[in-house]
């Protein structure tokens, strides 16, 4: 499942995939794969992304 919420939160902060990747210590391809739904990140990576984007785990990763 695509993660459009993460993509939208990143875009709202005017961050590129590369900038987010650099901030959380992964490759741009990893961020792209998460947004496309091709990669299921670890909880550690999820929390790092949430901190960087100013969102909660529920807001970005919980399928409600």
Q: For 19-37, how does the pLDDT look when each residue is reduced to its tens digit (9 = 90+)?
A: 999 999 999 999 999 999 9
The pLDDT confidence band at residue 64, using thresholds 50, 70 and 90, is low
User: pTM score > 0.75 for this model?
Assistant: yes
Interval 3-22: pLDDT, tens: 999 999 999 999 999 999 99
Report pLDDT for 63. Answer: 73
Domains of the chain are: 4-61 (1.10.260.40)
Helix H, strand E, coil C: the string for 5-41 is HHHHHHHHCCCCHHHHHHHHCCCHHHHHHHHHCCCCC
- What are the residues whose beta carbons fall under 8 Å from the beta carbon of 64, sequence distance 6 or more? 58
Please say if the pLDDT value at position 39 is more than 80.
yes
User: 45 in the Ramachandran plot: left (φ > 0), alpha (ψ -120 to 50) or beta?
Assistant: alpha
């Amino acid at each position: 499942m695509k993660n459009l919420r993460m993509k939208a939160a990143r875009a709202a902060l005017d961050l590129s995939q590369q900038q987010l990747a650099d901030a959380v210590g992964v490759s741009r391809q990893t961020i792209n794969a998460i947004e496309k739904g091709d990669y299921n990140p670890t909880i550690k990576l999820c929390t790092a992304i949430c901190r960087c984007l100013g969102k909660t785990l529920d807001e970005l990763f919980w399928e409600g």
